[in-house]
Structure 1
Amino acid sequence: MDNWVVSLAGPRHIRLEPCPPEPLGPGQVRVRTHYSGISAGTELTLYRGSNPRLRKEWNDTARMFITRDAVPAYPVVGFGYEEVGEIVEVAPDVADRRPGQLVWGIWGHRTEAVLPAHAAHPLAPGVDPLAAVFARPGAIALTAVLAGDVHLGDWVGVFGQGVIGLLGTRLAVLSGARVVAVDPVPGRLAHAARLGARRVVDAADSPAAALRTATGGRGADVCLELSGFYPALHEAIRATAHAGRVVAAGFYQGYAQGLELGEEFHHNRIQLVAAQVSGPEPVPGTAGRWPGTRIVHTFMDLVAEGSVDPLPLVSHVVDAGAVADALTLLDRGDGDILQVVLRF
């Protein structure tokens, strides 16, 4: 097949479907994919069948999930949100994009896509195209840091040192924080130390006690929970100072086993803030100054200027046709796996 798209036919059931080329309309460009990163969070919830969108419908007007009414959950076609490619065709009315231009954006795991020109973001000169698969994960991490209202000199615990957690560690360090990075995987903690974490703590070694020791018993000013595991969220709450803030930016699944809100959360009056990069105001309280477009472009500016180097987080680059194997690899959850990228 010259043109194809990844389809999830059911839990852990990947297919490559033919995808005839779409006609190019006004204001649009055609992009040929070079790389597409696989999310180890959101995409795995679709792959495993635990994502709430598989059983409920998101109503954007009501901003509520509504139970599906006989709407099949599968197939899920063209999922993915970390793409880099080359413009191969532009509509006659598009003046600010050109064939041959490298761009990044969101168009899913597919060989090519037709997009509005404004959704194909030009890659800055000198930036490795592989680095641009981190645009969306970087925006998620930056949203969490902004939601934490991190200040110079703050002690910040970052729970979970996967791709987004490691980017969150680097961005918190750039914000002037003294970061304590938490994860059960030694290799990920080594990455965190290289990215500027002041201390690293094995998740099994009472991170809350370590953060309180580091701060003279006070606790962290802010904790960012980026793993999506309820016990980690509970430990982040335990680690946080009285009236401090915990940002829950992981994609939590199922019921909250391991989260005890009657303990430190209640007695220390912890502020628990949800961070989510999409929506009408990704960072509440900023009077709309940080829309999603500004967040993602700020992250890519940091990459272009060299303040953030995400390339060491690429652990596997595989041929796109082996996407089923790539997802199996991520699903297995080995500790040496960080960013898996499909190469087209």
Structure 2
Amino acid sequence: MKRTGTPRLVDVAEAAGVSLASASRAMSGGSGISPEVAAHVRRVAQELGYEPNLHARGLAGGLVPTIGLLVHEIGDPYFSEIASGVIRSATLENRSVQIAQADRTPESELAQVQALLRQRVGSIIIAGSGYADPEHEQKMTAALAEFALAGGRAAVIGRHYLPIDAVLPDNHRAGVSVGAHLAALGHRRIGVVAGPLELNTVADRIAGLREGIADAEVELTVVSKEFTREGGIAGARELVDGEFRGRDLTAIVGLNDAMAIGILSELRQQGIRVPDDLSVVGFDDIAVAADVAPALTTARIPMFEMGQHAVALILRPASDEARTVSTSHELIVRASTAPPRG
């Protein structure tokens, strides 16, 4: 098969019939790969005319100790809490943090990572959900593999399919706890205002919700909106005053607290009392969750600590195998949930 353009490490891996991680080890002389396979990969690379990224190679001796942190929305309390954890740990290590913001698209994320690479950062942390379809991560995987060849360190928060060190929030079990809580209260018709369905975080939390209500014959109605307060408003409006008006819902779950706060706002505008008429639950336990009226029941995710864990991962010596730190969750029951009327 004739190839066009400059060959990339991912092309070498494909042609050699090995994983991208194995190709990276073969080219960098890492362990965890047999001499025969390593020689085969290098032979294929030579045949393809592959050379490690010239920009990355130039950086190999000149990376700076700055940590590049990529988030989806720094104004979102979820990401600002993670950023606070990253900055606290980085400060203790006498490292600065450069924050970049990307839209929730693979193309935007990749562009921002490439911008960080041009800034010669020595390590990168990507915070924010990855994609349920691993094909969406292929270009990012290739870019980070080249970064690793140059001596860079990378870690992610909330992504399953990038073959690098990862901090994984307990999204599935948090969903189970929320679903079980509502089912135990007696709710049988529950609405869910979700973010984009292709995101890992959304898929994991919905799967957990379904597991948590599995024994109670609960009907779940899911609408997908932007992962924001405005998305919560739009989703609540659709559930109670739009297409799904006749479902007689008794509870609504926002898949993050920003959405849940938007849900509370829309219900208040419509004169729907919480929790008398509808219960509302969120995820994350951002700082204002306890201060809204009524105080929000939510699944607490340790966002600040997740940022700290990510810094700890990039400060460790590089490993041939990706390492994972899994976090816990805690269901915080407040005034926004109660048994349904009747």
**TM class by smaller structure:** 0.3 to 0.5
Larger radius of gyration: 2
Which structure shows the bigger proportion of residues in helix conformation? 2
* TM-score normalised per structure 1: 0.36
For normalisation by structure 2, the TM-score amounts to: 0.36
